[in-house]
Amino acid sequence: MLDGPILFRPAVERRPDITIRFEGRDIPACAGESLVTALLTAGLLTGRSEFDGTPRAGFCLMGVCQECTVWTSAGQRIRACMTEARPGLDLRTSAPFETFAS
C-alpha cells in the first residue's frame, strides 16, 4: 500500500550497509544517511494525506513541512528528513494507537 515511485536518485555511489524496517518490511539503508533517502530511493512513500489518502513523499526536506513524518514502533514521531538511519529502526506511517482500541 505504501509502494510509491522511486523519487530520489543517488548522486553519489551508495552502499547500503544496514537494514531498517518500514511497515514490516526490510529496507536497505546506509548508516548515517537520512531516512528520507533510504525510503525514497527504495520506492516508498512516507505516508498519505490523512484527509484524502493521496500519497505524500516529503516536500521541503529541511524539517519545515512535516510531510515526511513517520512513527517509530515505540510511538515516537520523527521527520524522515531530519533523522539519520540507524540499525534497528522500526518505522510505520501512522501513529500507533493500539492502546486506545482495547
Residues found near another protein in the complex (CB under 8 A): 4-5, 7-12, 14, 30, 32-34, 36-37, 40-41, 45, 49-52, 54-67, 69, 71, 75-77, 81-82, 94-95, 97, 99-102
Cα(27)–Cα(19) distance, rounded to whole angstroms?
Answer: 5
The CB-of-9 to another protein minimum distance in angstroms stands at 5
Do the beta carbons of residue 82 and residue 63 sit within 8 Å? yes
The CB-of-18 to another protein minimum distance in angstroms stands at 14
Residue closer to another protein (CB basis): 14 or 21: 14
The alpha carbons of the chain give a radius of gyration, in whole angstroms, of 13
The CB-of-25 to another protein minimum distance in angstroms stands at 18
Mode of pairing for the β-strands spanning 18-22 and 90-92: parallel
Residue closer to another protein (CB basis): 25 or 77: 77
The CB-of-79 to another protein minimum distance in angstroms stands at 10
The helix or strand, by DSSP H or E, that contains position 41, with its residue range, turns out to be helix 35-41
Cα(48)–Cα(4) distance, rounded to whole angstroms?
Answer: 11
